[in-house]
Amino acid sequence: MAVTPLYKLFADQLAASIRDGVLRPGERIASVRIASQQHKVSVTTVVRAYELLESRGIIESHPQSGYFVREQAQPAEKPAPRTARQDNPAWQQSTEVDVSRLVLATLKTIQQDGTVPLGSPYPNPALFPSQRVAQYAGKITRNASQSSVFDDLPPGHPDLLRQIARRYLENGLKVDPEEIVITVGATEAINLCLQAVAKPGDTIAVETPTFYAMLHAIERLGMRALEIPTDPERGIDVGALEEMMKTQPVAACMVMPNFQNPLGFQMPDAEKERLVRLAERHEMPVIENAVYGELYYGNAHPSSLKNYDREGLVLHCSSFSKSLTSAYRIGWAMPGRYRAQVEKLKFLNTLATPTVPQRAIAEYLTQGGFERHLRRVRRAFAQQRDLMRHFVLRFFPEGTRVSEPQGGYVLWVELPSAVDAMELYRRCLALGITVAPGRIFAATNRYGHFIRLNYSYPWSREIEQALKLVGKLVEELAS
């Protein structure tokens, strides 16, 4: 049995005293030296305990003054963002998709140098072992004479296929390496899978709000989106989907059951199985975007729709871009009964995925350390989620609602209804701060007063001050 470090025990003891009201918000706590003497622990133990409590947003340091109990928010009193009502007839119509220009324009400004990246869709690259993966890539490149031109062809390099299958096995899902097709990121995997199961003009069911890459795929292929009401804690409303399928044909369904972007929920296992059984009854393919599956905050890896797939109708897509390195854009698809078609489309669309990054990632996975890296990232994201929620609820006006992600690194925020998120986005940008406006997460303007925030970057005074400014702007727009 693992022994809890002394500094964590001390931190938990102090946190309990704060929670019980022994120490109140704004009160100064004992200095490092005095705490060391009082509790008969080393100065190092106290310092590490205080750092841990500060990272959790429980205490804060004041230069030249010491440590103080931070004023705590009361998240339980703040409900999650509201979702669509199933009985609204407007939700039962499929829609042509035209969001790519807005998303592209927004992403270009979000990535401007010098801005506070609250609107970034990407995790903090400093968390990735990119240098180590690059070293493997450099070594492979220097020995390029050992490679064959045929190594690039679909389905992908055998070493990487085997390592991906092994990773799934470690997480409780038996996968045949021959089922996997390597792609240029998860975006290509999603596009290939959608192209394999539907044609222009078809209707595709999606969650709402949904990740804009899913909408891009529908738009690119000339299809229509049918937005299904989605609970911020349980995921897509399977009953609503079934009802809508009675009145119009649905060619396929695209979902993110684990740590969906932007809501962050983990769909309960019973609902995952219910969705797959519905798909079986109607012979409806389901494209599963699983890019955030490794970024869970719980004690066990979540199940995927693929765990319940008996008929090969689930087309599972994922990548290493959000969990290991975004530099090489290596993704994959496990398309079930559509594997041959996806492999053919991969060859026709982009011919191949470069071998060097495939082999470099395979080498990293072979050498070990991936799980240790993921534990560190998950721990950081969970702590930073709590901080971001705390400060949004502290600095934003009454009427603000926030999600409580169970994984990933983004927070979905519902602002007072009078706020125009696009105007907020423009005003923030003028101050060197980025936010992601809710408009880009739906085929129609359903989320005009919502924003998405990225909390993957280490907490800093710069981020805290940026959130204060955003909160002030929200208050101005709300009034």
- Going by their DSSP bridges, the two strands 450-454 and 436-437 should be labelled as antiparallel
pTM: 0.81
Give the N- to C-terminal CA distance of the chain in Å, as an integer: 56
pLDDT for res 75: 40
Distance CA 376, CA 379 (A): 5
Q: What six digits make up the tokens of 165?
A: 């299958």
Exposed/middle/buried for residue 217 (C-beta within 10 Å: 0-12, 13-18, 19+): buried
Distances in whole angstroms, Cα of residue 285 to Cα of each of 191, 256, 258: 14, 14, 18
Please report where in the chains the tokens 């705390």 appear, as a residue.
390
**pLDDT digits (tens), the chain, 479 positions:** 456 778 888 888 888 778 767 777 888 888 888 888 878 888 888 888 887 887 677 888 876 678 888 875 444 345 678 765 545 555 567 766 666 777 777 677 766 667 899 999 899 999 999 899 999 999 988 886 655 556 678 999 999 999 999 999 999 999 999 999 999 999 999 999 999 999 999 999 999 999 999 999 999 999 999 999 999 999 999 999 999 999 999 999 999 999 999 999 999 999 999 999 999 999 999 999 999 999 999 888 999 999 999 999 999 999 999 999 988 899 999 999 999 999 999 999 888 899 999 999 999 999 989 999 999 999 999 999 999 999 999 999 999 999 999 999 999 999 999 999 999 999 998 999 999 999 999 988 789 999 999 999 999 999 999 999 999 999 999 98
Query: Contact at 8 Å (CB) between 198 and 252?
Result: yes
**pLDDT for res 314:** 98
Task: Please list, in sequence order, all residues whose beta carbon lies within 8 angstroms of the beta carbon of residue 85, skipping any fewer than 6 positions away.
Answer: 91, 229
Give Rg (Cα) of the chain: 24
Amino acid occupying residue 349: N
Dihedral, 334, 336, 338, 340 alpha carbons, nearest 10: 70
Beta strands in 217-308 (DSSP E): 224-231, 235-236, 252-255, 286-289
Residue 413 φ then ψ, to 5°: -125, 125
Whether 180 contacts 156, CB under 8 Å: yes
Residue 400 CA to residue 332 CA, distance in Å, equals 38
Q: All domains of the chain, ordered by start, with CATH?
A: 6-69 (1.10.10.10), 97-127+373-478 (3.90.1150.10), 130-370 (3.40.640.10)
Nearby residues of 313 by Cβ (< 8 Å), 6 or more positions away: 276, 279, 280, 283, 284, 285, 286, 336, 337
Asked if residues 301 and 293 have their Cβ atoms less than 8 Å apart, the reply is yes
The predicted pLDDT at position 67 comes to: 86
- Give strand pairing partners of 228: 207
